[in-house]
Amino acid sequence: MLVTEDSKRSVGGTNGSNGLPIFSERLAFVVFAVSDALALFMPASSMLMFLGILTARYAVQDFLYSLPKRLIIALLSLFLSIIFMMIAFTSILYLVFGDEKRWVLGLVSSLATIPVLLFAFLQFNPLLDIISSTYGPGIFGKRGDCILM
């Protein structure tokens, strides 16, 4: 079997002389590496925030300030981890199928957005409610300042 230089580059792997990945010069590989690292760190921070909610002491001040803030951070980091996971997935698909089979890239990338959209659809309104009730005027605001005419 004859192996040419072009066939070696399309397969992937490492460069024999220095051990660097063949795709390391491409922007999609850098996007994959960064988004893969962020997709690793974001769920860990989300899990730690959810565990912080679970192990809270449940005092009155916790329900007003600490627990909603932890829930906001946990939900945002979970949403970001899903986004970074999908970016890593689509960037590696671009590296593999980007030059030859664009229809596979478009089909799989559009299917990969379903979990992001589903999570955003299910969790965005409760997240906005939590943010507005935590950092907005709230129900315990002063009522004496409002003057009716």
User: How far apart are the C-alpha atoms of 44 and 67, rounded to whole Å?
Assistant: 18
Domain locations in the chain as residue ranges: 23-135
3-state secondary structure of 40: helix
Residues 25-54: tens digit of each pLDDT: 778 888 989 999 999 999 999 999 999 888
Tokens of 113: 């957005």
User: How far apart are the C-alpha atoms of 111 and 85, rounded to whole Å?
Assistant: 13
Q: How confident is the model at residue 140 (pLDDT cuts 50, 70, 90)?
A: low
pTM of the model: 0.71
